A and B are shown apart, each in its own frame.
Chain A
Amino acid sequence: MEENYGGDVLAGPGGGGGGLGPVDVPSARLTKYIVLLCFTKFLKAVGLFESYDLLKVVHIVQFIFILKLGTAFFMVLFQKPFSSGKSITKRQWIKIFKHAIAGCIISLLWFFGLTLCGPLRTLLLFEHSDIVVISLLSVLFTSSGGGPAKTRGAAFFIIAVICLLLFDNDDLMAKMAEHPEGHHDSALTHMLYTAIAFLGVADHKGGVLLLVLALCCKVGFHTASRKLSIDVGGAKRLQALSQIVSVLLLCPWVIVLSVTTESKVDSWFSLIMPFTTVIFFVMILDFYVESICSVKMEVYKCARYGSFPIFISALLFGNFWTHPITDQLRAMNKAAHQESTEHVLSGGVVVSAVFFILSANILSSPSKRGQKGTLIGYSPEGTPLYNFMGDAFQHSSQSIPRFIKESLKQILEENDSRQIFYFLCLNLLFTFVELFYGVLTNSLGLISDGFHMLFDCSALVMGLFAALMSRWKATRIFSYGYGRIEILSGFINGLFLVVIAFFVFMESVARLIDPPELDTHMLTPVSVGGLIVNLIGICAFSHAHSHSHGASQGSCHSSDHSHSHHVHGHSDHGHGHSHSHGSAGKGMNANMRGVFLHVLADTLGSIGVIVSTILIEQFGWFIADPLCSLFIAVLIFLSVVPLIKDACQVLLLRLPPEHEKELHVALEKLQKIEGLISYRDPHFWRHSASIVAGTIHIQVTSDVLEQRIVQQVTGILKDAGVNNLTIQVEKEAYFQHMSGLSTGFHDVLTMTKQMESMKYYKDGTYIM
């Protein structure tokens, strides 16, 4: 995974952004720091296991108070925050006060999580460095995560958390469940317990969630306190001051606590030793070593070398902590022969530990930014130029409510999309009512029917999108405009229906062979509801169908307006248009046909269900159900074939069948134009519902005005229904120029052949 391209390459410290790849500082210099870091992390794991044991007897607030007290004491000794450095203003004191409060809350969450789900899981969840969490969050919540590797790391992290949540059979769960709301030491823990119980998860899972929350808080806290630490004069001084303030903060609470509740501790004296180890290992040593390492090494390396030993040692201790061998290691021998049933190693934990290690490794690796750029051209030297600004420009889009409002407005603007939208809303409403009722009555049939409806709704959504997109303006990529999307969407909808018909067919064949017993009592109301919804849809869409013919002129005309730049020639354009439509005889475009067929298929399904239910209930013919579905499958299929065929023809750029005759006539008429010798490469195709495009090359005699010929040819072909025409007018001179310009031998050959023919024609015309 690491990319050490030669450790002996000369480079300065922090030379991560070198030419070929990350370049290391000579590893020998770093080794001692790495070893130190590993050792510290190991000790931290020991300290956390120790503190879990301590927390069994000491109250959590007391524990944190003692921890903070000890840390503050030592840090004041080391740092001397009052005697050295510049004096601290009042405003900074307020900030330090806030810092201390936040620090207390986070450590409270952390240790409470520790009591809930044990040291092993706490270590796995909480001991991630900031850089890991930040890159995780950036992958999850921003689009520019930094390549597939980071995505993988984030996926691993999530899988690991899910493993801890779902596949970890923690034995303590059962134990805790016995006294869920039993004795809780204080109001605070009681509150947290009730919060977790309110969420409806087991305590141990609640702990996992709590720790994830605390982790995010920690990262935010560290990021926020960075500026303050510079103001105050170093992170260490800030830490020392903050610890003192938090001790003062916690002091009254602890006093109240120790007065009101009786302590479970036998002798505080025996706890001095464990507390000292915890204070040293967890708080002081870790803090100092990390601050040294982050200075000496790069941050990502620090994170990587730090995370690995702590997870491994957590796994080891998780297995061996209560083992007799390690009893000597433990500073607190009180529970030496206690049964080790709580928070033991399980398969889920091991798997999630592996995933955590992997994800920490991936996420902490330096991100290679700037890999995505769009090629914008070439520099004069010939090196490619890329544009990296694309992201920044794209992100400056409008707000979500406004976006929704605008797209709604667009949808409601036109008839097709409005109908699809209303019907989609109706369908979704029905689906959710069905799902809700299914969940309420716990009926599987209803829920699965709801899923089926959702599946169908996807076709409607696609139709809606196509209807919307088809009105977009032409861009450089879509140089003819987006009208063709409707045809493609109709084609996909047709394929969708074929797939549905196929599955229904297969299912009914399987049932024909082995007819199952049916439970019919729930079927009728659902299918009647579905039938009503679909009948409404059919009425709406067929209404459009019958009226679209009359309305076609207006609507198509306006749609043409929207994505074309007419300058003049409107009036006649409209005429040509309606003419073509009249001969086409199809009011609906492919998209609407697809949607309509979909609704029709659903209606057929509902009718089939009702009929078969009646047959089964009245006569007990269980064979009726598969027969009905067989019939419906065939019907759906037969109804969809014409749609697919038409869409295929358009997609294959076939000569539009409805214009075929007129075009032949027009081409014949073309040859009678004065001065026109011949034409070649006549291509005509339907581009979208409203556009018939064509290209043609014509050869003319050299004494004809090109533009006049263009005008005449355009006129003739427009009468034949072609409304997007390109004409290349070629004279003899053109072929001569081309033969001069073109380099290939074959090109010249074909050109001269054309010229020959032209000469021949010319001679002929001259003779005539």
Chain B
Amino acid sequence: MGTIHLFRKPQRSFFGKLLQEFRLVAADRRSWKILLFGAINLTCTGFLLMWCSSTNSIALTAYTYLTIFDLFSLITCLISYWVMMRKPSPAYSFGFERLEVLAVFASTVLAQLGALFILKESAERFLEQPEIHTGRLLVGTFVALSFNLFTMLSIRNKPFAYVSEAASTSWLQEHVADLSRSLCGIIPGLSSIFLPRMNPFVLIDLAGAFALCITYMLIEINNYFAVDTASAIAIALMTFGTMYPMSVYSGKVLLQTTPPHVIGQLDKLIREAGSVHVRIRRDANEQMVLAHVTNRLYTLVSTLTVQIFKDDWIRPALLSGPVAANVLNFSDHHVIPMPPLKGTDDSNPVTSTPTKPSSPPPEFSFNTPGKNVSPVILLNTQTRPFGLGLNHGHAPYSSVLNQGLGVPGIGATHGFRTGFTNIPSRYGTNNRIGQPRP
């Protein structure tokens, strides 16, 4: 019975609220199935823990922890249903999707901590190997295996399915993929089952069961009790291997890092932005620049905030003293560098900020690229001589944008064709409407 306690306890302080939310989730039909599986899981785990203590086998204990991990994944699934129903509250202004990520992270970390515990126990067992009773070993293995597989295959666990696909492959998966590639060379039909990558959970369940079967065999035949400890270590290592990439992936989401799939595209965009010389005169239209930048980054980042930053505004402000010092803290802002503007003669404190290459947006939760973006600041300087970058320019377009924004060199990379090359015509019409002031 101790198994629930592991998860429920942290939330006990707002137990009443929990119950209320639970009722909310339980109202949904889909969650009934999960609750049913959870109940079965609890009984199953109880039996397995009993058998663990009766057989005294640590390998079976390590395998039982996988069942407990299944329970966590069911809870994660429930949480993801709950998250879908909740709207953002004022305190949690981004909504609750991140809770899903946190649940995945917590359950993978808990599984790894369990594996660490197993490693410690087996290190102690190497010193003094106790006797293993094989009576319930095989039964326990097959009960756990069939239950795990049944849960994995019958419940569609959205968060874990996403993470296991998005995270990098574990070493176990890599080896299996490598083996099955050569196997599929012989029997091509199998490629549909094995090839791209197997489900890591199914894989670790099967591998653990296999290790337990070998343990059973060797103990039955030769009384090699040390095999039990060895296979416990093997299962623990496999658990580490499986869980580690997933916890790294979800941990990176929690750390508000730039998701890897965005960074490539973003690099391209920033490089593009580097060649787009956003030049704004003192009277230039800031709003148009903003619109363009937003339009470009909009596809990548769902919640986007762009701050425009004018050079010539600061200089007087700086001179004017305390107000500026209070306001302008550019330390953590990211600056899209403007390559050709390297007039070092001007020792402007702002533009001489060490330019960080780019400002990739952090990922908010799974599958929603970068809500909450870190600030993108376009440095636009207008006192500098300009013209280096225009030699590969797009003459008609820049003439359209002559008003305030020069955008040369667009369309060189294919990634933008969809988004941008059809714009000039449309933009040209809008231009007249959109800019009442000369």
Residues on A close to B: CB < 8 A? 1, 3, 147-149, 151-152, 375, 377-378, 380, 382, 444, 447-448, 451-452, 454-455, 458, 474, 476-482, 484-485, 488, 491-492, 495-496, 498-499, 502-503, 505-506, 509-510, 560, 564-569, 571-573, 637, 641, 644-645, 648, 651-655, 657, 660, 681-685, 687, 691, 693, 695-697, 705-708, 710-712, 714-715, 718, 723-731, 733-734, 736-742
Closest 8 CB pairs of A and B: A737-B291, A740-B430, A726-B375, A564-B331, A707-B313, A733-B287, A695-B305, A741-B295
User: Could you list 14 further interchain pairs (A-B, Cβ under 8 angstroms) beyond the known A3-B185, A740-B429?
Assistant: A147-B178, A148-B178, A455-B117, A480-B332, A481-B332, A498-B9, A565-B354, A573-B331, A706-B308, A707-B314, A715-B326, A726-B306, A728-B306, A737-B287
30 A-B contacts (beta carbon < 8 Å): A148-B171, A149-B178, A377-B267, A448-B127, A454-B120, A477-B252, A477-B257, A477-B258, A479-B256, A479-B361, A480-B332, A495-B113, A564-B331, A567-B353, A568-B324, A569-B327, A572-B325, A641-B13, A651-B254, A653-B94, A654-B92, A683-B94, A695-B375, A706-B310, A707-B310, A726-B305, A726-B375, A728-B307, A731-B287, A737-B287
Please give me the residue from chain B that is nearest to A642 by CB atom. Answer: B13
A377 CB contacts on chain B under 8 angstroms: 264, 267-268
Q: Is the CB of A506 within 8 A of B2?
A: yes
Contact B435 A733 (CB under 8 A): yes
Asked if A3 and B287 sit within 8 Å, CB to CB, the answer is: no
Shortest B417–chain A CB gap in Å is: 11
Q: Across the two chains, which residue of chain A brings its CB closest to B334?
A: A479
Whether A488 pairs with B110 at a CB distance below 8 angstroms is: no
Partner of A687, one of B109, B256, B359, B364: B256
A499-B110, A506-B2 given; A718·B288 CB < 8 A: no
Contact between chains at B326 and A3 (CB < 8 Å): no
- Nearest opposing residue in chain B for A481, CB measure: B332
Closest Cβ–Cβ distance, residue B375 to chain A (whole Å): 3
Could you tell me the distance in whole angstroms from the C-beta of B182 to the nearest C-beta in chain A?
5
Which of B127, B285, B310, B415 counts the most A-chain CB atoms under 10 A from its CB?
Answer: B127
- What residue of chain B has the Cβ atom nearest to residue A166's Cβ? B226
B255 with A478: CB separation less than 8 A: yes
Name the one of B106, B325, B334 contacting A569, with C-beta atoms under 8 angstroms: B325
Would you call B433 an interface residue if the criterion is a C-beta within 8 Å of the partner chain's C-beta atoms?
yes
Total interface residues on B, CB under 8 Å, equals 114
Distance in Å from the Cβ of A441 to the closest Cβ of chain B?
13
> Which of B95-103, B142-150, B151-159, B198-206 lies at the binding interface?
B95-103
Residues of B within 8 A of A (CB): 2, 5-6, 9-10, 12-13, 53, 90-94, 96, 98-99, 102, 106, 109-110, 113-114, 116-117, 120, 123-124, 127-128, 171, 174-175, 177-178, 182, 185, 251-252, 254-258, 260, 263-264, 267-268, 285-288, 290-292, 294-295, 298, 303-310, 313-314, 317-318, 322-334, 349-350, 352-354, 356-362, 364, 372-376, 412-415, 423, 426-427, 429-430, 433-436
Across the interface, do A488 and B254 meet the contact criterion of CB distance under 8 Å?
yes
**B221–chain A nearest beta-carbon distance, Å:** 10
Q: How far is the CB of A704 from chain B (nearest CB, A)?
A: 11
Q: Is the Cβ of A655 less than 8 Å from the Cβ of B323?
A: no
A458 touches B116 (CB 8 A): yes
Q: How long is the Cα–Cα vector from A168 to B78 in the complex, in angstroms? A: 52
Q: Are A740 and B427 neighbours in the complex by a CB distance under 8 Å?
A: yes
Question: In the complex, what's the smallest C-beta–C-beta distance from A501 to chain B, in angstroms?
Answer: 9
- Contact between B362 and A480, CB atoms less than 8 A apart: yes
Decide if B6 touches A502 in the complex (CB within 8 Å). yes
Closest to A741 in B: B295
- In the complex formed, the residue of B with least CB distance to A479 is B374
Q: Least Cβ distance of B115 to chain A in Å?
A: 11
Given contacts A375-B264, A572-B326, A651-B102, contact A729 B308 (CB under 8 A): yes
Distance in angstroms between the alpha carbons of A482 and B254 in the assembled complex: 12
B114 in contact with A499 (CB, 8 Å)? yes
Greatest chain A CB density within 10 A among B128, B313, B327 is at B327
Distance between A390 CB and nearest chain B CB, rounded to angstroms: 15
Cross-chain contact B106 with A495 (CB below 8 angstroms): yes
Q: What residues of B have a CB within 8 angstroms of the CB of A484 in the complex?
A: 254-256
Query: What is the minimal beta-carbon distance from A480 to any residue of chain B, in angstroms?
Result: 6
CB neighbours of B182 from chain A (8 A)? 1, 3
Task: Give the nearest-CB partner of A684 in chain B.
Answer: B93
- CB neighbours of B318 from chain A (8 A): 568
- Are A641 and B329 CB-contacts (below 8 A) given A148-B175, A737-B292? no
CB-based nearest B residue for A384? B264
Q: Which residue of A lies closest to B5 (CB)?
A: A502
Partner of B359, one of A479, A569, A742: A479
Residue on B nearest A503 in the bound complex, by CB: B117
A653 touches B372 (CB 8 A): yes
What residues on B are CB-neighbors of A730 within 8 Å? 287, 290
In the bound complex, CA of A380 to CA of B256 (Å)? 32
| Contact call A447/B287, Cβ cutoff below 8 A | no
Write the nearest CB–CB distance from B271 to chain A, whole angstroms.
8
Give Cα A682–Cα B90 distance, bound, in whole angstroms: 9
Residues of chain A within 8 A (CB-CB) of B13 are 641, 645
Min CB distance A307 to B, Å, is 18
Which residues from chain A contact B268 at a C-beta distance below 8 Å? 377-378
A685 touches B372 (CB 8 A): yes
C-alpha spacing A451/B252, complex, angstroms: 31
Partner of A641, one of B10, B349, B372: B10
Inter-chain CA distance A552–B294, complex, in Å, is: 39
Task: Report A-chain residues with C-beta under 8 Å of the C-beta of B114.
Answer: 499
> Are A152 and B360 within 8 A (Cβ)?
no
Which partner residue on chain B sits nearest A695 by CB separation? B305
- A378 near B326 (CB under 8 angstroms)? no
User: Hey, which chain B residues are within 8 Å of A3, CB to CB?
Assistant: 182, 185
How far, in whole Å, are A718 and B326 apart by their CA atoms in the complex? Answer: 8
Please name all residues of chain B whose beta carbon is closer than 8 Å to the beta carbon of A715 when the two chains form the complex: 323, 326-327
| Choice from A148, A380, A479 contacting B362 with Cβ under 8 Å | A479
**Would B330 and A495 count as touching, CB distance under 8 A?**
no
On whether the beta carbons of B9 and A641 are closer than 8 Å, the reply is yes
- The reply to whether A655 and B93 form a contact with Cβ atoms under 8 Å apart is yes
B288 engages A653 (CB within 8 Å): no
**Bound Cα distance A496, B116 (Å):** 10
Residues of B within 8 A of A479 (CB): 256-258, 334, 356, 359-362, 374
Complex alpha-carbon distance, A695 and B307, angstroms: 10
Closest partner residue, chain B, to A747 (CB atom): B298
Known A448-B127, A498-B10: A567·B349 in contact at CB below 8 Å:
yes
In the complex, the answer to whether B290 meets A728 with C-beta atoms within 8 Å is yes
- Chain A residues contacting B106 (CB-CB under 8 Å) are 491, 495
Closest-CB distance, A727 to chain B (whole angstroms): 5
- Is A448 within 8 A of B124, CB to CB? yes
- With a 10 A CB-CB cut-off, give which of B99, B128, B257, B357 has the most chain A CB atoms: B257
**Complex alpha-carbon distance, A738 and B353, angstroms:** 30
